[in-house]
A and B are shown apart, each in its own frame.
Chain A
Amino acid sequence: MQHSQIEEQNLIDRYVRGTMPAAERAEFEEHFVDCAECQEQIEVAKSLRQAVRESIAESAGGWIAGEPVHERRRPASGWRWVAIAACAGLLMALGTSTVLLLQRERARSVLASARLSSELAPVVFGLSLSRDAAEPRDIALPGDSRWMIFLAEIDATRYSRYRASVTNSRGEEIWSQDGILPNSPDSISVAIPSGALHPGTYTLGVSGAQPDGSLIPVARFPLRLAAGK
């Protein structure tokens, strides 16, 4: 196997992504198992891929409290303990009967956030208007509690802050987040705790927040969530 072929066919990255057919993979492994140059390239590619995902996840994690990272005054773990305590205090104060009056989906969403492990690596999904706005995007829910980061490709230059919401097939809003800042001129990250979502069809809506507080719809992404392993 020639290195020019490896470069042209992006074998390094395809191997790291696990998208090679078995026969091609076996041939490539037989080459690189004794090739220091390819081994180095694979390790760098793997690390870079992981690093890009972690950098996006970290950026989105900073938006979870609805404020940008540089304005955060307490570490993320501190914020989550405050959320847990606030949630528990609220439930005790309101009493069981009042809890039952809360929107069932909303309460579950809040408690899901509180129970979420802050240390498991989030899962990241990219949403593109050209590809994902028409047909539902199939997504497997993680088998454990962790953040799901949706990287939405939109024109993020029109508004300084955005609102994201998830509505179910009955049109009921089950989750939302205000004050989302853009990652870049063409994307925002929406971080949703996996416990807030269940198998079914949903719509992730993104709206731009105008200075007067009114919201202008910017994008809608239909999602079809299935139970993961």
Chain B
Amino acid sequence: MEVAGSSDAGLVSRIRSGERSAEDELVRRYCRGVSIIIGQSVADPAAAADVYQETFRLALLKVRAGEVRHPDRLSGFICGIARSLVIEHFRRAARFTERHEAEPDRQLPSPEPSQLDQLLRKERAALARQVLSELPSDRDRKILYRFYLEDDEKDDICADLGITALHFNQVISRARQRYKKIYESMREGRKK
């Protein structure tokens, strides 16, 4: 049962009345979702962290100031702030690039992945190989290759391979579930 104060409108009202715990609740509720939205567009982790921080700073500022026109649509309000800040990030990055194009000797951080990134990459690749090897048929493997590697559309894959949309959904869903299960077992194994 949802507590009235935890609804979108309830949360806005509590923040406006100065309740600090309500502000913490807002951040906790939306932190993961906002990270995903920002991460879809901003690849650089440091830049994504900056946009993330600014999103919540601005969101809380506006909620406190009573600038949320539709308190029952707080989720949409938060998403809108995150998207606007992502756009602003790229505008600033473009202006920065223009200003510094004539500085060929400028030192830039290395784009190469860290050792940890490389290790994580290897682990992910091993998990994917396990998931792929456990698929019951080559056709199912082809579905995954075409969908995740070639970014083919579902309809095209189904038409080419002569499979139904339901079969396609089942293969993708099972692969995701299996991947998640193996990944979690690996993490559990490490904790022991």
Contact = CB atoms under 8 A, between A and B. Distances in A.
Interface of A: 7-8, 10, 13, 15, 17-19, 26, 29-36, 39-45, 47-58, 117, 119-121, 124-126, 128, 130, 144, 151, 153, 184-187
Given A34-B29, A41-B176, A120 B145 contact: no
Contact of B118 (A15, A17, A43, A119): A119
B128 interface: yes
Contacts, number: 124
9 contacts: A7-B173, A33-B36, A47-B183, A53-B148, A54-B122, A55-B128, A58-B125, A120-B111, A187-B145
B160 A58 contact: no
A53 B145 CA distance: 8
A126 B142 CA distance: 11
Contacts of B32: 36, 39
Contacts of B132: 52, 55
A48 B148 contact: yes
Interface string B155-192: 00000100001000100110110011001000000000
A-B pairs with the 3 shortest C-beta distances?
A: A126-B150, A33-B33, A51-B128
Contacts of B76: 30
Contact of A54 (B128, B131, B146): B128
A19 B127 contact: no
Interface in B39-69: 40
B158 to A, nearest CB: 11
B36 A32 contact: yes
A169 B10 CA distance: 67
Contacts of B145: 52, 56, 126, 151, 187
Q: A-side binding surface: helix, strand, loop or mixed?
A: helix
A159 B190 CA distance: 42
Nearest to B37: A29
A119 B131 contact: no
Given A36-B32, A52-B132, A52-B144, A124 B149 contact: yes
A121 B112 CA distance: 9
A10 B154 contact: yes
Interface in B111-159: 111-113, 118, 121-122, 124-129, 131-132, 138, 141-142, 144-154
B126 to A, nearest CB: 7
A186 B138 contact: yes
Contact of A50 (B75, B124, B138): B124
A18 B165 CA distance: 20
A151 B124 contact: no
Contacts of A18: 40
B10 to A, nearest CB: 14
